[in-house]
Amino acid sequence: MSIQFTNTMTRRKEEFIPLEPGKVKMYVCGPTVYNYIHIGNSRPAITFDTLRRYLKYRGYEVTFVQNITDVDDKLIRVANEEGVTVKEVADRYTDAFNQDLHNMNILPPDIQPRVMQTIPEIIEFIEGLIEKGFAYESEGDVYFRTGRFGDYGKLSHQPLDDLQAGARVEINEKKEHPLDFALWKAAKDKEVSWSSPWGDGRPGWHIECSAMALKFLGEQIDIHAGGTDLVFPHHENEIAQSECYTGKVFARYWLHNGMLNINNEKMSKSLGNFVLARDLIQQFGGQLIRFFMLQGHYRNPINFSDELLEQAANSLERMKTAYHNLGHRLETAREVEPNGQAEQQAQIISDLRNRFIKEMDDDLNTANAITVLFEVVKEANQYMTSQNVGVQEIRAYKELLLELTDVLGLILEQEEELLDSDIDALIVERTEARASRNFARADEIRDLLAAKGIVLEDTPQGVRWRRK
């Protein structure tokens, strides 16, 4: 069996064949770091982390790049409002983003490039496009000449004429055509800027991904992914820039996840249903959010509500309970002589694993893969109640659960991370212990917090803490 993905480019399910056997070059668009991420942003993060884990499980060597957009209008606005630099805003929310990812057991990207560190490559890219006639300078801005790329609209399946008809007529005297988009923006007053052949300015949004993919993965990549909201114009524009620059097909497989609704409504600030990932993580734990997201097929929309989350919590608990029971039975089970039952169990376990793989091979169907996981739970529970329970079989079930949940990034064994309130309470206890010269207890608390990734800092204002 081979792995199949639904490719947005062809709108078909296709067999996955990487450019180089055994290796996968993967690019996933990252956040604009002007705020904490909302729960909708965590969906692509969880989905494509699962894809990355699965490809590794299937033996591929995966290079995973995810950019950080650390320069844009929104960042500049926040920096101005707060009277700090754009970099300070970007650093704060990049750290917060990485912390949120960690809390949902999302592996850090192999490379996490930032715009501010990629300016020379972006300028070189734009210069190349101008040289080839695909871009033009206009009063310090540079625009991509959309009409020069015959394939424009191929990802979103919208011919250029349709796009033109639907385009908001924007009054921009600087552009040759309304669909042309900015590669470089001339600096306005006191804005963060870099010098370029076109004067001081900063890159447009789309060009960063093309330049970063080229820099870190080369001219062609295997998988490019993100939310469906990025198909047009962002990914369409990335394709236009990259393919005009290199003359080659940019990405072979385009994967897009569906949107997340809250109580069947689109999430938006105006509806007042805007939920930050970190608030939910704080309340319910990152594991539950991850499990919840994977219960649906990534391409479909997903609805989020407290009730659905509660149902997911019960399911996840059932899986954890089975795992713990297996561990408990392992202590009491004994080695038995190989018998017919052992063979039968080995067959069941092997079949379950194969079915899990088959579902995941089929366009990363985590929804069905989780159904198979619950069959593992069912079979394991049933086996534990049978007579002559063998230690090997119990171990095999336990290992199978561990193996398959690990592919999904679910953790069965880890203790939940400490909540902020627990940390505060421990810090108070530590302060009291020190005041009463109980240094052993104070050190014990420090070590316990350190083991949970909590770093303490003694300051004149008292003890401060942060998560590593």
Binding residues for ATP: 269
Contacts of 219 (CB under 8 A, 6+ apart): 242, 246, 248, 250
Closest to Zn ion by CB, 248 vs 324, is 248
Q: Whats the size of the chain, residue-wise?
A: 468
Q: How far apart are CB 146 and Zn ion at their closest, in Å? A: 17
CA distance linking residue 46 with residue 26, whole number of Å: 15
Is 122 a binding residue for Zn ion by CB under 5 A? The answer is no
User: For residue 111, what are its two tokens?
Assistant: 């490379």
Q: Strand pairing partners for 251?
A: 221
The CA distance from 316 to 147, in Å, is: 51
For residue 265, the minimal CB distance to Zn ion (Å) is 27
- Residue given tokens 């909302």 in the structure block: 38
29 binding Zn ion? (CB under 5 A):
yes
**Segment lying near Zn ion (by CB under 5 A), choices 55-63, 128-136, 204-212, 378-386:** 204-212
- Contacts of Zn ion in 58-97 (CB under 5 A): none
Contact 86, 76 (CB under 8 A): yes
Instruction: Compute the distance between CA of residue 159 and CA of residue 67 in angstroms, rounded to an integer.
Output: 29
Q: Residue 217: phi, psi to the nearest 5?
A: -125, -15
**Of 242 and 287, which has the nearer Cβ to Zn ion?**
242
Residue from the set 122, 130, 135, 209 that interacts with Zn ion by CB under 5 A: 209
Cβ-based nearer residue to Zn ion, 29 or 223: 29
**Residues 140-179 within binding reach of Zn ion (CB under 5 A):** none
Quick one: 113 or 153, whose CB is closer to Zn ion? Answer: 113
Tokens of 36: 């904490």
| Backbone angles phi and psi of 305, in degrees to 5 | -150, 160
**Which span (97-105, 201-209, 256-264, 268-276) binds Zn ion, by CB under 5 A?**
201-209
Per CB under 5 A, does 277 bind Zn ion?
A: no
Selected range binding Zn ion among 159-167, 205-213, 248-256, 349-357, rule: CB under 5 A? 205-213
Amino acid (one-letter) located at 349: I
Q: Is 302 in the site for Zn ion (CB under 5 A)?
A: no
Choice between 69 and 287, CB closer to Zn ion: 69
Annotated binding site: 29, 209, 234, 238, 269
Stretch that binds Zn ion, among 25-33, 108-116, 388-396, 407-415 (CB under 5 A): 25-33
Cα–Cα distance for residue pair 209/241, rounded to 1 Å = 10
Given the rule CB under 5 A, which residues bind Zn ion?
29, 209
